[in-house]
């Protein structure tokens, strides 16, 4: 009996060890995939007078080569304030301050004239200073998962911006000046408190990805149909009760999510979306028969009603 128990325990231990090993490997693979996706979304810095490709992760080391530092990553360093010494590194092209405890950025941030990538994800920021509008070469601004309530209107000065990441904040509005950012390709505004989008967003003709999931939108602004370059549109979990007609003009759309909205029908012109590959309609009021008919209108379309996105 004792031998039998030992055998069972050994087998159980082997199974659990194998399970946790597989789980760990799977998590690593998912993480690697996620990093690849993030890197694909972030455009590479353009060549500047600063040609040092080394990514510094120590401020002390960087300060030893003030005129030769282009890239600095001070993530996960328990920073509570923006280090004053950073202002000596005015030739930075890339600055990452993710996963700290920063509550604000100083006005001196506007002095980094060569900066192309600025990430301040997972901090405690409550605002962005207006001086951020002086970063005339900025391409990527990522401030996900903070407590930011307002985007300064000066963001409209950043004519080189390609990516804005403001998901998981406390935004209640978007400034009309966002319409000035005509080179913008990716805009992430999910999980905020937005009730409307400015009509000026229709100026973003190069926009390919727009995420406004988990907000309080009830409709789309005038001119939204101009965003014909959109490939990904995520409007999940809002208060939209009528399928937005503006969407049927987005002939390049491949991925559309309208899940968790009280939509009861879709327009016949949805058949115009010949490139649409994935449509998410879980927790809507669209009858199952109508959803089945979608597959006749768009034979290559995969309609997801399971809630898994």
pLDDT exceeds 80 at position 209: yes
pLDDT digits (tens, 9 = 90+) for 105-148: 999 999 999 999 999 999 999 999 999 999 999 999 999 999 99
How far apart are the C-alpha atoms of 40 and 61, rounded to whole Å?
Answer: 29
pLDDT digits (tens, 9 = 90+) for 168-205: 999 999 999 999 999 999 999 999 999 999 999 999 99
pLDDT exceeds 80 at position 37: no
pLDDT at residue 82 in the model: 97
| Mean pLDDT within 284-295 | 92
| Mean pLDDT within 259-282 | 96
| Mean pLDDT within 146-165 | 98
pLDDT digits (tens, 9 = 90+) for 215-269: 999 999 999 999 999 999 999 999 999 999 999 999 999 999 999 999 999 999 9
pLDDT at residue 235 in the model: 98
Q: Report the length, in residues, of the chain.
A: 309
* Position 43 confidence tier, pLDDT thresholds 50, 70, 90: low
pLDDT exceeds 90 at position 15: no
Task: Please give the residue that has the higher pLDDT: either 143 or 51.
Answer: 143
How far apart are the C-alpha atoms of 203 and 217, rounded to whole Å?
Answer: 19
pLDDT at residue 46 in the model: 59
pLDDT digits (tens, 9 = 90+) for 53-63: 899 999 999 99
CB 205 within 8 A of CB 181: no
Q: Are strands 209-211 and 278-280 parallel, antiparallel or unpaired?
A: unpaired
pLDDT at residue 170 in the model: 98
How far apart are the C-alpha atoms of 169 and 192, rounded to whole Å?
Answer: 5
CB 222 within 8 A of CB 200: no
CB 297 within 8 A of CB 270: yes
CB 4 within 8 A of CB 100: no
- pTM for this predicted structure: 0.84
Taking residue 68's Cβ as centre, other Cβ atoms within 10 Å add up to 14
How far apart are the C-alpha atoms of 50 and 71, rounded to whole Å?
Answer: 9
CB 230 within 8 A of CB 209: yes
């Amino acid at each position: 009996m004792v031998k039998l128990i030992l055998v069972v325990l050994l087998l159980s231990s082997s199974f659990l060890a194998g399970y946790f090993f597989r789980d760990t490997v799977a998590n690593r693979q998912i993480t690697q995939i996620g990093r690849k996706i993030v890197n694909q979304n972030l455009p590479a810095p353009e060549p500047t007078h600063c040609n040092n490709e080394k990514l510094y992760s120590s401020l002390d080391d960087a300060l030893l080569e003030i005129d030769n530092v282009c890239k600095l990553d001070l993530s996960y360093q328990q920073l509570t304030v923006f280090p004053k010494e950073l202002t000596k590194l005015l030739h930075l092209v890339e600055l990452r301050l993710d996963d700290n405890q920063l509550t604000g950025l100083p006005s001196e941030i506007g002095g980094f004239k060569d900066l192309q990538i600025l990430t301040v994800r997972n901090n405690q920021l409550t605002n962005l200073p207006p001086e951020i509008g002086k970063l005339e070469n900025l391409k990527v601004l990522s401030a996900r998962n903070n407590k930011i309530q307002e985007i300064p209107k000066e963001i409209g000065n950043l004519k080189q911006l390609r990516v804005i990441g403001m998901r998981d904040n406390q935004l209640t509005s978007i400034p009309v000046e966002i319409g000035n950012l005509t080179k913008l390709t990716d805009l992430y505004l999910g999980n905020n408190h937005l009730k409307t989008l400015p009509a000026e967003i229709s100026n973003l003709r190069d926009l390919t990805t727009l995420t406004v999931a988990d907000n309080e939108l009830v409709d789309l602004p005038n001119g939204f149909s101009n965003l014909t370059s959109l490939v990904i549109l995520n409007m999940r979990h809002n208060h939209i009760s009528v399928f937005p007609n503006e969407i049927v003009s987005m002939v390049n759309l491949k991925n559309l999510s309208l899940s968790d909205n009280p939509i009861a029908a879709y327009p016949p012109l949805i058949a115009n979306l010949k490139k649409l590959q994935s449509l998410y309609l879980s927790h809507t009021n669209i009858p199952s028969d109508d959803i089945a008919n979608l597959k006749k209108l768009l034979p290559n379309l995969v309609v997801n009603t399971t809630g898994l996105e």
